[in-house]
Structure 1
Amino acid sequence: MPRRTLWLAPLLLSLALGAAQAQEPAGYLQPSTAIRQVLDAPVPPRPWVSPDQQTLALMDIRPYPGIDELARPVLRLAGLRFEPGSGTPQPLQVLQRLRLRALNSSDAPERTIELPAGGAFHSFAWAPDGQRFVLERRMEQANELWVGDTASGRLRAIAGLRLNNALGQGEQAWLNPQELLVLSVARRGPPPKPTPRPAVQEASGRASPERNYADLLQSPYDESLFEYHARSQMVLVNVATGAVREVGEPQLYASISSVGAPGTPQYLLTERVARPFSYDLTWDDFPTVVEVRSREGRVLKELTRMPMRKGVAIDGVLIGPRVFYPSPSKDAAVYWIEALDGGNSNARVPFRDRLMRLDPPFTGEAREVQRMPHRFTQLRFLDDGQQALLTETDRNRAWVRTYLLPLNGTQSKPLFEYAQRERYRHPGVPLMRILTNGHSVIRTSPQGDIYMLGAGFKPKGEQPFLDRLSLRDGLSAHVFQSSETVYEQPLALLEGNRLLLSRESPSEPPNIFLRDSAGLHALTQMRDPTPSLRRIHREFVSFKRADGVEMSFWLNLPPDYKEGERRPTLVWSYPLEFNDPTLAGQISGATSRFARYSGLAPQLLALDGFVVLSDATMPVVGDIRSINDGFIEQITMNARAILDKAESLGVTDPKKVAIGGHSYGAFMAVNLLAHTDLFKAGIARSGAYNRTLTPFGFQSERRSLWDSRETYLRLSPLLYAQQIKEPLLLVHGDADNNSGTTPLQSERLYHALAGLGGTVRFVSLPYEAHGYAARESVGHTQWEMSHWLRQHLGEPRP
């Protein structure tokens, strides 16, 4: 053979192998039969009690759309994704079956609502009195509104109405049980045509530290296309008669809500987007005009013109009025928040925010209701019309405080407070109810107490609770708490002290029960859809890392595991930041629950023979303002503690352990591969690996790249790619729209590792966003993970 041919032979062979690798797989690959059966198993229905507490809706939602659903035409404009024909977001949570059941009797029959063929039904919602419900149906060129009668189950479409969900994303507002305000497609001609024009961006010397966003406007054509599809018309629908009436003029409505109670003068509170648009920000940071309108749509008062959210400091807020709340009560007031620190969270001021109020007829000056020493978080009205709960957050201490706020102007009082990461002493969240105007408010008892629903985190596992909290003295008492052996989650407190709850145990799938003085009554009869998961031995394991911080993981042993075997193991984790080491040790999860997992769950790999240490805690403890300075050292300490514990249990071969994670967990996993030799392989899904591409903050990091250059560079595993000697599987959705995790992150890491001679595989999933939705994508991802572990850790079974 000629010398030149001899020299070319290895290159030709290499190119041939590379071509084979690039072409494989020819299509989507299927996971093992055991995993595929779990992925295709039915999921429990979603329950929703009607506002009048007389009817239970059970909704069967399609768990995974097909890839053809994700491949439907979609526009990506100003941070939005919607179909141009129907204006609906993609993918939809499609309703496959709808059932109704009366709650006035434990043996009432269940009725299936016949959904007409064609299109895709979605977005179920009750009318405020529970006598009707509404659905939407996506068709190719329209999104329809359908009204159902609860008593008869009959459905009818509102003729001639095309909903516009492009900007409002399903925005609706009930005025009373019969009248529903919706956004419809405004009268319009053909869509704009692209015309080549320069796209110009300009900075004028003012700092504007923006995060990285996907699907932004990029040209004047994008601007005109966004405006064309986002412009909508308010329409008032009488759900009893089907009559429709246009309200006001077409605008770029972003939010609509009713103000005031039925039977008294009611108004509308609208927020609409205005020009100029931005190529750096998403639509909800564009200039916004907030107005109070009459029921007929006439503008009564322009409350503010919020400027574009540009030039706002990291962790800062806009100057001037922001975050508007319509009163659900007969006072018909409008509330909003204003910054007292110039919008700068680093400014040292006695008060950071204040709550303002403006009453009808909206011609006078707004008055101050309450000042807050820390940043406003939330306002929730009580159903008595006289009080509200006002919540603020101290970002430096990571502390949350809630006040009981009288709306008549008298002084508020602290009701409860806790650390942001607090689990064990978390008071829960208020139980809400729906008023006749559709507003959700905090439910009070006849004695004036409120009810709190909580997960009930405890050292031995979760025990959900329903408490009654006294607003007079702040003391609480259990109305109900789940036991340690059976997991019962309260869903609704019905008349006559009856409790609707979801009940499950390690051997019983979740079902809906009614608990009353006579005992428990099953309302659903779902059987175990995934019996193979019952053969996975699942155990909660706790331990300590070197500095004494408590840690834990869930041990998942394969169905065929035999005592004493040391098997290849996958550790799956996600880092969380804590400013208090005692909080870092608080556990979540419960051994009393029925094991069921999402399609992307790593626990399913136990069915293929691997030991899986899932939900392995990865605490990063320190001052929240500089916590990432020690990120590498802390995740290394965590990883060593996890591996030591797994080895001491006798279930793991310490030379055959992989580390994996999704999103920030993927970032953690690749950093561990870059800075330690603790693992033999890695799996990283949809992560960020070059922090210079997220220069104005990420996760809990508040400093910019230029404020903390060394931290950003050290936490960029791409810059340490030469130190990654272990095989790494990278998976990313090619349409990832999560801030900071652009697919470019995985592409560049792959190119770096391949160029340096590393062992790496990059799987790009078509049409998928940050989390993977399609049945084909979910199954293929499970195949990739199982195949990678088998290839680089060895066969899982002895």
Structure 2
Amino acid sequence: MSASLRPARWLFSATLVLVPLPAAFAQPAQASKAAAWSPREALTAESYVRPPAEIERLVTAPRQSNVTLSAAALGPDRKFFLVPVVADLPTVQEFGKPHYYFGGLQVDFKANRARVLTTRGADGLALVDATSGQRRTIDTPKGATVSGAKWSPDGKRVAYLANFDDASRIYVADVATGRSRQLAAQPVLATLVTEVEWTADGTRLVAVVPPANRRAVPQRPAVETGPLVRLTDGHKDKTRTYASLLRDPYDMDLMEYYVTGQLATFDANSGAMKRVGQPAMIADVDPSPDGKYFRVTLMRKPFSYIVQYTSFPQTEQLWDADGKTVAELASRPLRENDIGGGDDDAPGPGRAGADTAKRDFQWLPDGSLAFLQQEAAPNGSARAGGDSAEVPNGRGGARRKDRLVAWAAPFDAGSRKVLLESDARIGGVLFAPDAKMAFVAENTNGVGTVYATYFNEPGKRYTIWRMRGLTASVGTGRGGFGGGGRGGNGADSVSFYQNPGQLVTVPGRTGAPAALVSPDGQSAYLTGVRYDRNWQQNAPRGFADRVEIRTGKKTPIFQGGTDAYETVVAPLDDAFGKFVVTREGPKTVPDGYLRDAASGQLTKLTSNKDLTPEFTNLQRRRVWVTRADGYRFVVNVTLPENYQAGTRLPGMFWFYPYEYTDSLGYQRTLRTNNINQFPTAGPRTIEYLATQGYAVANFDPPVFGTAGRLNDNYINDLQANLIAVIDELDRQGFIDRQRLGIGGHSYGAFSTLNALTHTPYFKAGIAGDGMYNRSLTPNGFQSERRDFWEAQKTYLEMSPFLYADKLTGALLMYHSLEDQNVGTDPISSIRMMHALQGLGKTAALYMYPYEDHGPATKETLLDQWARWTAWLDTYVKNGEKKPVVANDTKAMQ
């Protein structure tokens, strides 16, 4: 129920390896020289090693030199895009800087900031002209990384945090000159609030700073003062399996120290600072347009030993310019039952108890605070939100009103004005820039609706779109489809292929997104992507439509062609006469273009390069596989560039199963495939192995089960899936079925161990950051919502640790020592290694310091590739061929 603080320095850097090496291994070579490749050295070295030169070049390709233009990066005046400049992969020296864990909160305690600002900051900032593509660099301070860059409301300045070794400070850059200046010498406290905010008039910046008279840092007693205490109270508090939890009263005190700060404003010109209110655990701050009020979210006590800090109590308050509390806006209690299914009194996320509270606060240009609030049921009790709140309260009951309210200063009971009233629960509101009208999303009984309402026309609604099977949203940046799990909506209906699009937004007068409205005020705009039923031959196409607000009539502005995948980034004017798009193709790297709506003329804005052409030029096949029970699924096969048909290659399977109730659920996951997509590659792209002579099969095999019992067929489906893939790829002549490896990360790693213990087909496996004993995740995992005691048979059958004696093939495991993912504690790999050692199995375990669930540092990534490649070359590509019975996979059916 607890985990101690984990300062990085306690982690050991040596790899833990147990490898019975074949006598045929080459003699050790210098691992520091990529050209002198030695598998033995790569597998046994207790220091970071490097892979073959071709793999190293792919992993370290300078992807950050390419520019991606986004709507979020476009300035308020729509003249420039602000883009980060990042030179290289982060290093282990950056990740190894000492830090604390406070119930999931990672803190660089030396610099008083969230650890992510230390490990993930950009090296600088650049401006890209939105009409010419001309790029120029902003002068940022030497020796600091940059984070949280924010445009000023007029687009003439950029504020950001400069993260030095010992502190983060506010800098402001002038767009015209590109020069930056430190706004104030005062460092910020960036543990919970990690960005600065402009007031809407552009005169001030708002941040959190350390308290004026900060107390001394708490010190752990030299000798423990008592036992660790954990109690239960008879409530069923079902929680996830967390890697980081508070340990004891000292941990609580230390966390409180590092998250307690003081609200402060800074004059945007002089840098003069004014402290606001008293020190508090400030988790968020949102200033009013004139900076006279602040919407402040506070973390509260009591803390907890069994859930992370995001479940601790919170209170949202309205403060005046002196820090005096004007009103309490919302309150959330401690949530110690964070996955549902228990019986505690505090509601979990999305559960009953909060649906009558004020919600979705937004500042309006006149300084009013808008919010939504649903009335209580007639008997005064709260009811759950979502669809259940949109139907009558009980049989024959009246619908509960949901209201959009504007609350003006002085924020008392008499200064509220109802702007909109609805019989359905409102899903979201997007105001026009002048806030005289708004677009509203509602979802009732499976029907999504977006409508417009003018506040001077009470009761009138103008439908923008209404469609069954689509989830409506506004102002969130999400697409037109939602819900229904990984397969999208439950019905494979016409609606999916008639995506009406999402309302286009621009920065509003308060800094929050506002709907883009045409210069005459009569139209809004929708953009999105439409997919084709025949996705294997026809690519999706981006579009932009103008929609008349009062009639709903749509006029197409743009539709992407069939020769490239083209999507809208952002318009550069209110009439949508010129707009920026991104274009890409199977062999064409994505680039930004300026498109003229009237003439269709394209002006190239970026000159991105294909930084990994050897990866782009690999041969790719989409192979349909049919199981013995008739279920079909897709396998993506990647082959060497010079592959000749019929050549049987050593195969590497990389997979990640998903659960479905039926075949249609799986089919729905395929319909967003894009044949015009440029093949993207990251540092951990497993298809790089094709450059080393492997046929790489990457797939998400389906596991089918009834609702609530999805995993009861997991082992049988796993076997059936692997049999089908091997037989089909063998039939097509891609693989040598006697030289096969299998691997995966996280749930894919867990499935890899199950493949090696429940099938005999693989010479080697690679499993990373996995969980191999499901009794260690007793309250559920992945899509499994039953606990261990409700589904004990399934939990045990799915635990490869219990079948470790049946493992076939040589197993390489890797695990990040600071893995924060729910349910994949490193102890799982350590105990599995212990078991395999006692069973005399061929195995290795590499544990990486400072890394989280997804390895990120250059040293770790190269080291992993070196050991993966050496392992597969040894046990798959060059291993002794194991005699197999003809059609041996059939025996498993």
TM-score of the two chains, using structure 1 as the length reference: 0.88
| C-alpha contact 1:683 1:729 (8 A) present in aligned 2 | yes
| C-alpha contact 1:175 1:181 (8 A) present in aligned 2 | no
Mapped partners of 1:554, 1:323: distance in 2: 48
Mapped partners of 1:61, 1:351: distance in 2: 54
Please name the residue that 2:413 is paired with. Answer: 364
Please name the residue that 1:27 is paired with. Answer: 47
| C-alpha contact 1:430 1:442 (8 A) present in aligned 2 | yes
Query: How far does residue 293 in structure 1 lie from its aligned partner after superposition?
Result: 2.0
Please name the residue that 1:535 is paired with. Answer: 617
Mapped partners of 2:265, 2:173: distance in 1: 17
Please name the residue that 1:232 is paired with. Answer: 261
Structure 2: stretches of 5+ with no match in the other structure: 1-18, 24-39, 342-347, 394-399, 471-482, 490-495, 882-893
Please name the residue that 1:590 is paired with. Answer: 674
Mapped partners of 2:531, 2:150: distance in 1: 29
| C-alpha contact 2:815 2:826 (8 A) present in aligned 1 | yes
| C-alpha contact 1:600 1:781 (8 A) present in aligned 2 | no
Please name the residue that 1:646 is paired with. Answer: 729
Query: How far does residue 267 in structure 1 lie from its aligned partner after superposition?
Result: 3.5
Match of 1:732 among 815, 829, 835: 815
| C-alpha contact 2:530 2:543 (8 A) present in aligned 1 | no
Match of 1:319 among 330, 337, 353: 353
Match of 2:656 among 556, 574, 592: 574
| 1:217 paired to 2:246 | yes
Please name the residue that 2:237 is paired with. Answer: 208
Q: Percent identity?
A: 27
Query: How far does residue 288 in structure 1 lie from its aligned partner after superposition?
Result: 1.1
Match of 1:166 among 176, 185, 191: 191
Structure 1 pair 469–671 and aligned structure 2 pair: CA distance change class (3 A): farther
Query: How far does residue 381 in structure 1 lie from its aligned partner after superposition?
Result: 5.0
Please name the residue that 1:422 is paired with. Answer: 488
| 1:144 paired to 2:169 | yes
Mapped partners of 1:248, 1:355: distance in 2: 34
Please name the residue that 1:684 is paired with. Answer: 767
Structure 1: stretches of 5+ with no match in the other structure: 1-12
| 1:387 paired to 2:469 | no
Please name the residue that 1:8 is paired with. Answer: none
For the residue of structure 2 that corresponds to 1:327, the secondary structure is: strand
Please name the residue that 1:441 is paired with. Answer: 514
For the residue of structure 2 that corresponds to 1:200, the secondary structure is: coil
| C-alpha contact 2:766 2:868 (8 A) present in aligned 1 | yes
Match of 1:120 among 134, 138, 145: 145
Mean CA deviation greater in 28-37 or 633-642: 633-642
| C-alpha contact 2:523 2:546 (8 A) present in aligned 1 | no
Matches within 5 A, 1:202-351: 202-259=231-288, 267-311=293-337, 313-314=340-341, 317=351, 319-320=353-354, 324-329=359-364, 330=366, 331-335=368-372, 350=391
Matches within 5 A, 1:467-546: 467-468=544-545, 470=547, 479-495=557-573, 496-516=576-596, 517=599, 519-546=601-628
**Letter of the 1:79 counterpart:** G
Please name the residue that 2:873 is paired with. Answer: 790
Mapped partners of 1:290, 1:354: distance in 2: 23
Please name the residue that 2:125 is paired with. Answer: 98
Query: How far does residue 76 in structure 1 lie from its aligned partner after superposition?
Result: 0.8
Cα deviation, 1:718-763, whole Å, max 9, x if unaligned, reads 2222222232221111100111111112222222222222222111
Please name the residue that 1:51 is paired with. Answer: 76
Mapped partners of 1:296, 1:379: distance in 2: 31
Mapped partners of 1:598, 1:179: distance in 2: 40
Please name the residue that 2:115 is paired with. Answer: 89
Mapped partners of 1:400, 1:576: distance in 2: 27
For the residue of structure 2 that corresponds to 1:785, the secondary structure is: helix
Please name the residue that 1:111 is paired with. Answer: 136
Structure 1 pair 723–770 and aligned structure 2 pair: CA distance change class (3 A): same
Please name the residue that 2:29 is paired with. Answer: none
Mean CA deviation greater in 164-173 or 116-125: 164-173
Mapped partners of 1:234, 1:655: distance in 2: 65
For the residue of structure 2 that corresponds to 1:95, the secondary structure is: coil
Mapped partners of 1:655, 1:477: distance in 2: 59
Please name the residue that 1:655 is paired with. Answer: 738
| C-alpha contact 1:686 1:770 (8 A) present in aligned 2 | yes
Match of 2:825 among 742, 745, 753: 742
Mapped partners of 1:707, 1:469: distance in 2: 53
**Letter of the 2:540 counterpart:** Q
Query: How far does residue 701 in structure 1 lie from its aligned partner after superposition?
Result: 2.1
Structure 1 pair 354–136 and aligned structure 2 pair: CA distance change class (3 A): farther
Structure 1 pair 652–383 and aligned structure 2 pair: CA distance change class (3 A): farther
Structure 1 pair 786–344 and aligned structure 2 pair: CA distance change class (3 A): farther
Query: How far does residue 508 in structure 1 lie from its aligned partner after superposition?
Result: 2.8
For the residue of structure 1 that corresponds to 2:119, the secondary structure is: coil
**Letter of the 1:782 counterpart:** W
Cα deviation, 1:406-447, whole Å, max 9, x if unaligned, reads 596859888344353239536554433211322123434443
Query: How far does residue 14 in structure 1 lie from its aligned partner after superposition?
Result: 9.1
**Letter of the 2:605 counterpart:** L
**Letter of the 1:224 counterpart:** D
| C-alpha contact 1:267 1:332 (8 A) present in aligned 2 | no
Please name the residue that 2:36 is paired with. Answer: none
For the residue of structure 1 that corresponds to 2:306, the secondary structure is: coil
Query: How far does residue 95 in structure 1 lie from its aligned partner after superposition?
Result: 1.9
Structure 1 pair 98–789 and aligned structure 2 pair: CA distance change class (3 A): same
Cα deviation, 1:324-346, whole Å, max 9, x if unaligned, reads 42223244223367998978799
Q: Which has the higher contact order (CA 8 A, sep 6+)?
A: 2
Mean CA deviation greater in 141-150 or 702-711: 702-711
| C-alpha contact 1:443 1:451 (8 A) present in aligned 2 | no
| C-alpha contact 2:666 2:702 (8 A) present in aligned 1 | yes
Please name the residue that 1:5 is paired with. Answer: none
Mapped partners of 2:139, 2:388: distance in 1: 60
Q: How many positions carry a matched residue from both structures?
A: 772
Mean CA deviation greater in 588-597 or 694-703: 588-597
**Letter of the 2:609 counterpart:** R
| 1:39 paired to 2:59 | yes
Please name the residue that 1:9 is paired with. Answer: none
Query: How far does residue 290 in structure 1 lie from its aligned partner after superposition?
Result: 1.5
TM-score of the two chains, using structure 2 as the length reference: 0.79
Please name the residue that 2:716 is paired with. Answer: 633
**Letter of the 2:697 counterpart:** L
**Letter of the 2:217 counterpart:** P
**Letter of the 1:431 counterpart:** V
| C-alpha contact 2:625 2:634 (8 A) present in aligned 1 | yes
Structure 1 pair 304–541 and aligned structure 2 pair: CA distance change class (3 A): same
| C-alpha contact 1:431 1:451 (8 A) present in aligned 2 | yes
Mapped partners of 1:322, 1:30: distance in 2: 56
Query: How far does residue 534 in structure 1 lie from its aligned partner after superposition?
Result: 3.4
Structure 1 pair 783–213 and aligned structure 2 pair: CA distance change class (3 A): same
Please name the residue that 1:6 is paired with. Answer: none
Query: How far does residue 193 in structure 1 lie from its aligned partner after superposition?
Result: 0.9
